[in-house]
Amino acid sequence: MIQEIFLKRAANIRKEFLSIQKEANNYERALNGFVKMIDNTSNNVEDFLERLNSNALSDPEKAKQDLLEIFVNLENEYNKTSSSIGNVEDKIEHLKKDELTLFRDIKQRYPELSDSQIKSEIQDYIHKLKLS
């Protein structure tokens, strides 16, 4: 039987995984919002071009400012979304390292246990804690 200290570490990794999973779902919604913003930006650029072609924009500085505003808004949204996704990727990478370290520590302490035995015992513990 694996000592509880190892099982608790596994449970903490699972909790962190579940937290990241919720976060990833939020980022998926944010990405969907970003896709919609790209569509809106495309529409805004088309509207801008129509106004430009119909000579509705007579002031070149105003036209330049309008176009710049469209792209700055898109860039800001991209940066925000990109940063969020990067945070999730960093957390997942950290979690992978924690999982590998835990597995290595368990194998070192219990060399007689097979990988499937370790996995089974950890899964049973996590299931008992209702983290599955």
pTM of the model: 0.68
Cβ-based neighbours of 71, under 8 Å, separated by 6 or more:
41
Mean pLDDT, residues 92-120? 96
CA distance 106 to 7: 10
Cα–Cα distances (Å) from 3 to 9, 101, 118, 126, in that order, read: 10, 16, 11, 14
For tokens 């002031």, the residue is: 59
Which tens digit of pLDDT belongs to each residue from 5-58?
999 999 999 999 999 988 888 788 888 888 998 999 999 899 988 888 888 877
Q: Is the pLDDT of residue 96 over 80?
A: yes
Contact call for residues 62 and 116 (beta carbons, < 8 A)? no
Which tens digit of pLDDT belongs to each residue from 53-95?
888 877 888 888 988 999 998 899 888 888 777 788 889 999 9
Where do the structural domains in the chain lie, given as residue ranges? 4-128
